[in-house]
Amino acid sequence: MSSMNREEIAALERKAREIRGLTIEEIGYLGVGHIGGSLSIVDILVLLYHKHMKIDPTNPTWAERDMLVLSKGHAGPALYATLADKGYFPLDWLLTLNRGGTKLPSHCDRTKTPGIDMTTGSLGQGLSAAAGLALARAIDKKPGFIYCIIGDGESNEGQVWETAMFASHKRLSNLIAFADWNGMQIDGLTKDVMDMEDIVAKWRAFGWHAQMVDGHDFAAMDAAIEEAKRRAAPGIEKPTIIILRTIKGKGAPFCEGQVTNHNMNFCIAQVKEALVALDVPAHITPELLRAQ
Amino acid sequence: MADQKEMREVYVETLMSLVEEGKDIIVLEADLMRATGTTAFAKKYPERAINVGVAEADLVGVASGLSAGGKIPFAATFGCFASRRAYDQFFLSANYAHLNVKLVGTDPGVTAAYNGGTHMPFEDLTLMRVIPNLTIAEPPDAASLAAVTRIAAETDGCFYLRLQRKAAPQIYPDDETFELGRAKVLRRGKDVTLVALGTVMVNEALKAAASLAEEGIEATVIDAIWLAPLDEATILANSPSGRIVTCENHRVTGALGSAVAELIAEKAPGMRLARIGVAANLFGEVGTLEWLAERFELTAPHIAEAARKLMW
């Protein structure tokens, strides 16, 4: 059960609409990017950064912080919007996405962006790194959680399952993973490209606590995270993965649920249309644009 | 060399000393703990010894995460797997991410012997040399291995260490000092310079120099130790003859011979070069180390012959 009341949930839903708007603006002003898989994870990012993670945006390298490894690193734009909104860096950095010399590259880079805890981009690697981070905490008997988001297409990678064995064997229950199950990958529907069959059963068979929840339902996701946190006892208890049933491109009328939205072109008119549909104001103002 | 300590013992003892001194070292293995000899480390520091099972991608990925969490991971596996199998993980999660991962590739080149071509890394150094800012070393004996392991632990940044597991003839006294990126001149001669890397080749180069001396050819022998950064200054300053023979237990394409060829082409275009190493068109094979060294033309007579040809 989630401990959140209706007002808290409504506030998170409002924040998620804002972050979706910001992500669409961020990519839209460049004109091309990984919009689909960015929008599908906005709700979990908002829930983590606005409720669960112990962080200090003024001190991004604080040793005791909770950490997030965005293993599906191409969804960086959604995380950048979340971090900018939290105050890790100025909002106008979002206008530099993927431009030469930017601190916000397409895929997450710990050396460039305040608040990015691990470099990712080659699919399958982030969960291993997250396990290493969780292990470092476990060895030191330090508190805190390491969160990791992988993709459904990414779950085709063998390395994911190497880590599935490892994290379970080491009982890294301070590792809480999410799989963004939007059902699509670059070449089509996941069930057509590489059917992962019963994904919850797979993770359970690898020794994890696993459950599937609606990845756009804050109460359901919150309850699953609360359960994982309550259970955590590194070295004793198994790690948790929460499979998030999501919609790729969620919130962008021009591409929601379309299999072609993995990495696509779109224009300012479509950005404006999306902001109206989301019922959020533009963050990227003419003043901000002129300052660039 | 029954009286010599095995190289893997030196590696493990050095890591244990470093832990005793307070270094936050974690040893990682992919089901080759018994081969690398890190079982001794695991016995003493069970919480600092991690076996990921037969999973090299995860080995390097977890090591990268441990590094991001402030630890100093030393991850080891056979050199073939450390390079070919976990290359993208080492490239991206460790090096591109500017982390502090020490990757150890054991059984370099022909020392893989009876494990044969599947396990014989003749290309690991080539793959590693193209990774920006990666430090690469192949120390030839116990003293240099202990020093290089210590330097790796004390220097922030990724390292690739090539480690022969078995005992190696002593080249340096125990108290010899080593610096990152500094080669050692083992013998000086005016006629030709032999630049060698690793246990097998440094010893073969010394033998070749001794036999050349009997013919009146005086050879300088340089132990490169570090492939990257290569000690270009020491190599150029100790090649008065303008003749260099590179000696590597590795394919000639892309590693020591190529690095020295690049150096000569750009900074000393008058010099002449011969490369001793495994021919570009060959894969590894099974055999004894001695048979393989002969098969792949890595022995002292092969080095001496290359040196003589440069004299003509």
Angle at the Cα of B278 (from B83 to B101), degrees rounded to 5?
20
The answer to whether B248 touches B276, Cβ cutoff 8 Å, is yes
CB B303 within 8 A of CB B247: yes
Looking at the structure of chain A, the number of domains it has is: 1
Backbone angles phi, psi at A240, to 5 degrees: -120, 140
Can the peptide bond before residue A60 be classed as cis, meaning omega within 30 degrees of 0?
no
Identical fold, B7-163 and B184-311: yes
**pLDDT tens profile A132-150:** 999 999 999 999 999 999 9
Residue A2 has pLDDT above 60, yes or no: yes
Report strand pairing: B49-51 vs B25-29: parallel
Tokens of A199: 């994904």
Identify which of A160, A169, A165, A139 has the alpha carbon closest to the alpha carbon of residue A243. A160
Q: Is there a contact between B62 and A131 if contact means CB atoms under 8 Å apart?
A: yes
Give, for A243, the enclosing helix (H) or strand (E).
strand A240-245
Residue B3 confidence (pLDDT) = 58
Give the number of other Cβ atoms within 10 Å of residue A66's Cβ. 20
CB neighbours of B113 closer than 8 A, spacing ≥ 6?
B107, B286, B287, B288, B289, B292
Interchain CB distance below 8 Å, B58 and A135: no
Is the domain defined by B184-311 classed in CATH 3.40.50.920? yes
Q: Is A129 on the interface with B (CB under 8 A)?
A: yes
Mean residue pLDDT across chain A: 96
The domain segmentation of chain B, as residue ranges, is 7-163, 184-311
Residues of B in contact with A163 (CB under 8 A): 58, 61-62
How far is the alpha carbon of B89 from chain A, nearest alpha carbon, in Å?
7
Residue ranges of the alpha helices (H) in B37-134? 39-44, 56-68, 79-80, 87-88, 124-129
Q: Tell me, yes or no, whether A235 lies in a domain.
A: yes
Domain assignment present for residue A193? The answer is yes
Q: pLDDT (tens digit, 9 = 90+) per residue, A208-220? A: 999 999 999 999 9
Domain range enclosing A214: 6-291
CB–CB contact B64 A128 (8 Å): yes
Q: What is the CATH number of domain B7-163?
A: 3.40.50.970
Report CA A23 to chain centroid distance, whole Å.
12
pLDDT in tens, A166-195: 999 999 999 999 999 999 999 999 999 999
Q: What is the pLDDT of residue B178?
A: 98
pLDDT of residue B1: 44
- What is the rounded distance in angstroms from the CA atom of residue A57 to the CA atom of residue B7? 47
Per-residue pLDDT of chain B (312 residues; tens, 9 = 90+): 445 789 999 999 999 999 999 999 999 999 999 999 999 999 999 999 999 999 999 999 999 999 999 999 999 999 999 999 999 999 999 999 999 999 999 999 999 999 999 999 999 999 999 999 999 999 999 999 999 999 999 999 999 999 999 999 999 999 999 999 999 999 999 999 999 999 999 999 999 999 999 999 999 999 999 999 999 999 999 999 999 999 999 999 999 999 999 999 999 999 999 999 999 999 999 999 999 999 999 999 999 999 999 998
Tell me how far the alpha carbon of residue A201 is from its chain's centroid. Answer: 23
State how far residue B308 is from chain A, nearest Cα, in angstroms: 49
Look up the CATH number of the domain holding residue A141: 3.40.50.970
Chain centre distance of CA B89: 20
Q: Are A238 and A209 in contact (CB under 8 A)?
A: yes
Backbone Cα Rg of chain B:
19
Residue A1 resides in a domain: no
Whether B65 sits inside 8 A of A130 (CB atoms) is yes
> Which one, of A75, A126, A214, lies nearest residue B65 by Cα?
A126
**For position A286, what pLDDT does the model report?**
72
A185 touching B (Cβ < 8 Å):
no
Statement: residue A203 has pLDDT above 90: yes
The answer for residues whose C-beta is within 8 angstroms of residue A100's C-beta and 6 or more apart is: none
Q: What is the pLDDT of residue A1?
A: 79
Contacts of A1 (CB under 8 A, 6+ apart): A223, A226
- Whether B48 and chain A come into contact, CB under 8 Å, resolves to yes
CA distance A210 to A96: 38
Which residues lie below 8 Å from residue A199, measured CB to CB, with a gap of 6+? A152, A155, A179, A181, A210, A212, A243
ipTM for the assembly: 0.94
Cβ-based contacts under 8 A for chains A and B: 108
Indicate the Cα dihedral angle B295, B297, B301, B306, nearest 10°: 160
